[in-house]
Amino acid sequence: MKSLPWEDIRLLVLDVDGVLTDGGLWVAADGSVTKRFFVRDGSGIVRLQRIGVPVCWLTGRSDPAVEARARELGVTRLIAGSHDKADALQSLSLSLGVSLDAIAYVGDDLLDLPAIRLAGLTIAPCDAEERVRSEVDWVSELAGGQGVVRWVCDQLIAVNKEKTL
């Protein structure tokens, strides 16, 4: 595993299902989907963006619940329906002018592995797929949808505050 270069991170990229949520879906008879997001994760995202570290959500699914939550938190970079997360991460890196080494990525499942292999700092929730946990820099003690994102945001906020002292 690499050392954790928190101070070098300029962009946080998050998977949604299994990271910002517990990975479960509630599907109604009409086919609509409802998801549960952890409020403290959202608070961390808002605080991180306020100090100038952008946040992007990169998800394999497209659904209105994710779009609504992203809007509510001021996440303007939402890449939904992406099944090639490595390509999406490279495009994001180029469009924002942020090197891949300066990107922190939080993912939990096999679809995340190509992006995990590119990002400079990688984190997984403790309930992530085993192969993902074996390839990331850090496995959180927290599960998806239970504070892993807040923990990552708090680490980045602390490092950025130290830089301004």
List the pLDDT tens digit at each of the 165 positions of the chain.
455 578 999 999 999 999 999 999 888 899 888 899 999 999 999 999 999 999 999 999 988 999 999 999 999 999 999 999 999 999 999 999 999 999 999 999 999 999 999 999 999 999 999 999 999 999 999 999 999 999 999 999 999 876 654
Residue 158 has a CB neighbour count (10 Å cut-off) of 11
Give the CA distances from residue 9 to residues 47, 80, 86, 129, 141, in Å, rounded to whole numbers and listed in that order: 15, 23, 18, 24, 21
Q: Kindly report whether the global pTM for this prediction surpasses the value 0.85.
A: yes
Domain limits, the chain: 11-146
- Residue range 11-146 forms a domain whose CATH class is alpha beta
Tokens of 114: 């190509």
- Distance (Å, whole) CA 5 – CA 129: 24
Distance CA 80, CA 60 (A): 6
